[in-house]
Amino acid sequence: DALRWAGDGPVGEPEIKTAEQYIETLRGRNLRVVILGEMVSEFVDHPLVWPSVNCMAETFRIGVDDPDLATAVGFTGVRMSRFLHVAESAQDLVKQSMMQRELGRRTGSCFQRCVGMDAINSMWGTTYDIDKKHGTKYHQRFQQYVSMCQKQNAVIGGAMTDPKGDRSLNCVQQEDPDLFVHVHARKPDGTLVLRGSKIHQTGVLNSHSMIVMPGQRLVEEEKAYAVACAVPIDAKGLTYIYGRQSCDLRAMEGSEIDQGNAKYGGQEAIVVFEDVEVPPEFVFMDGEYEFAQLLVERFTAYHRRSYICKAGLGDVMLGAAATISDYNGTSKASHVKDKIIEIAYLNENIAGTALAASYGGKAMPAGNFLPDVLMANICKHNVTKFPYEIARLTQDLAGGLLVTLPADKEWENDIARPLLEKFLVGKKGVTVENRRRILRLIENMTMGRNAVGYLSESMHGAGSPQAQRVIIQRLMDVEKKKDLAKRLAGVTEK
């Protein structure tokens, strides 16, 4: 079984084991990155970027703190991050989910590594299936690529979303062919030359390589767009344009309190491919257009279940809602208690459907396990709604000071500071500073930098709401349910 380590020797150690070692691997790559209109080749310590680097680094820290949860021994015999593990059982899927929730709790942000994990697992089965039909060698190539990444303990990004242009037109109907990543040319040795762009790329700068995949169903005339491959982040021809986030410039103002969550943040970028060369050993789909839809559906099954991370953020939100209620002196009011219960109820619905998808995982022909597709889509559909209501309830409990709180710099003013300390008191024994800190955290997660990951990403990441409803309609088996009702009602039809 190619998936399982034979266990015939000692467990190996990866090249990257600690957060500090990981962060050092991001330096010295001389990438083409545009941030706020400036070319920034060394981005790690840039104040806009550092919180996302530190957030990704937490995926290594949790591996040290809780190796049973956050690491696994892969088919290479190396103990590496669970984000690199190909799921061998439903229990592996469950551990992925539990790890994702815990990281959401630890960071209160998007820790950026789920897309790569889900890309690995969906590509594993799809390359196997392509080979069975076409006699290609994609699965062997993909095994070798994953083996290399496991031994390094590398961070893999997943690049699926194209700019799309006019959504009413397919790839070849667009006025500009580069609106979807495609094979522009081929070299005699089998090297592919790519052009196009991938957008909304979570954590891409903080990765070592990315798995490029088609993002939608394709037809034969779109064969050039049916390409899946691995591309190093520092490959020649790549340009990265950094995405803005609400309130992101607070990271450059020098105030830790006003950032709300100064330690951790997410990252998105637009990636532009300008004649990027991909050697054949890193090509895993080339023209097999009929497998594009299967790959996308498998990926979304993994990735929609991965939104259990929002339950981890929801745990933070529940804690923040309860804490600000304590600080405001309102925690004993019955309606406040009821709102906090509602937050818990909504949040556990997210977690429960994700875990149901993982527990219901089934083996694919390649041997790895796919989550229950219906429950994965129900999880993600919950996520398009429930975090917004949790945010609304938390803002309700926080009060108006959430959006009128003066800047941290006002506490440096000799006139303002004593007045603020006098008039912004809450419950006896609670410092004004602690009250400010919780308010800023709530602001950060509901309308600031980390609202990107908690709210907007919850809506559109892994497919907007209608995409889940299409799958739910397909899998809800309404005819069988009608038969159940008719049988119990004694209905007979001619």
Catalytic residue among 46, 71, 76, 110: 110
Distance CA 22, CA 53 (A): 10
Catalytic residue among 307, 327, 394, 454: 307
Q: Is there a contact between 139 and 127 (Cβ–Cβ < 8 Å)?
A: yes
Catalytic residue among 149, 171, 247, 309: 309
Catalytic residue among 22, 58, 102, 114: 114
Distance CA 374, CA 353 (A): 10
Per-residue burial over 341-368, b = 16 or more CB atoms within 10 Å of its CB, e = otherwise: eebeebbbbbbbbbbbbbebbeebebbb
Report the SS3 class of residue 108. Answer: coil
φ and ψ at 278, to 5 degrees? -125, 110
Residues linked to residue 81 through DSSP beta bridges, in sequence order: 71
- 290 noted as active-site residue: no
Which of 154, 146, 289 lies closest to 225, judged by CA? 289
Calculate the alpha carbon distances from 325 to 40, 189, 317, 386 in Å.
43, 65, 12, 21
φ and ψ at 352, to 5 degrees? -65, -40
Distance CA 138, CA 135 (A): 9
- 268 noted as active-site residue: yes
Catalytic residue among 182, 200, 303, 381: 303
Q: Is there a contact between 367 and 451 (Cβ–Cβ < 8 Å)?
A: no
* DSSP secondary structure letter of residue 492: -
- 114 noted as active-site residue: yes
The CB-side HSE value for 320 (13 A sphere, CA atoms) comes to 31
- 55 noted as active-site residue: no
- 457 noted as active-site residue: yes
Distance CA 350, CA 243 (A): 28
Non-local CB neighbours of 11 within 8 Å, separated by 6+ positions? 73, 77, 78, 79
Calculate the alpha carbon distances from 392 to 352, 379, 399 in Å.
22, 20, 11
Catalytic residue among 58, 102, 222, 268: 268
To the nearest 10°, the Cα dihedral for 479, 480, 484, 485?
Answer: -20
* Rg for the chain, CA atoms, rounded: 24
Q: Is the dihedral of CA 271, 272, 276, 278 positive or negative?
A: positive
- 394 noted as active-site residue: no
- 22 noted as active-site residue: no
Catalytic residue among 88, 102, 288, 457: 457
Catalytic residue among 202, 323, 353, 394: 202
Catalytic residue numbers read 110, 114, 202, 268, 303, 307, 309, 457
